[in-house]
Amino acid sequence: MASIFTKIISGEIPSYKIAEDENYFAFLDINPNAKGHTLVIPKREENKLFDLSKEEYDGLMSFSYRVAKAIEKTIPCKRVGMSVIGLEVPHVHVHLIPLNAMSDIQFIEKVKLSSEEFVALAEGISTNFQ
């Protein structure tokens, strides 16, 4: 069965999209740790990060680098943190999180955003994506 993220790539499930290319896709996390919390995924569905081929892994990291640069340009923060967990959704995803405090990377405190705020954040990061 297709993962929820595969359904996001196909458009079956809506998302606040930031960027995509042939192999990778970036969109806002729907339950963010902080404003601008973004997920970057390979389009090919794979459960675990280190089950990707070396080439796919490198491609995912390169794409995440570009997304992180766009986040830094858009969201005031001390730095962008990166985490890979995958206990909830079995489709590899890199969390890119604007950090101001250690708690921002701890997946405990969440921020509530309106759909207008999600749209504005996705547009802002997308505009800065190169």
Q: Does 46 bind ligand AMP (CB under 6 A)?
A: no
Type of residue found at 49 = L
Q: Does 49 bind ligand AMP (CB under 6 A)?
A: no
Interface residue with ligand AMP among 49, 86, 99, 124 (CB under 6 A) is 86
Burial of residue 69, with CB atoms counted within 10 A of its CB: 0-12 exposed, 13-18 middle, 19 or more buried: middle
Q: Is 91 noted as a catalytic residue in this protein?
A: no
Q: In what order do the strands lie in the sheet with 17-20?
A: 17-20, 24-28, 38-42, 94-99, 79-83
- List 2, 61, 85, 111, residue binding ligand AMP (CB under 6 A): 85
Provide, rounded to whole angstroms, the least separation between the CB of residue 87 and ligand AMP: 4
CA distance linking residue 67 with residue 51, whole number of Å: 22
| Chain residues that interact with ligand AMP, rule: CB under 6 A | 4, 13, 15, 29-31, 39, 85-89, 93
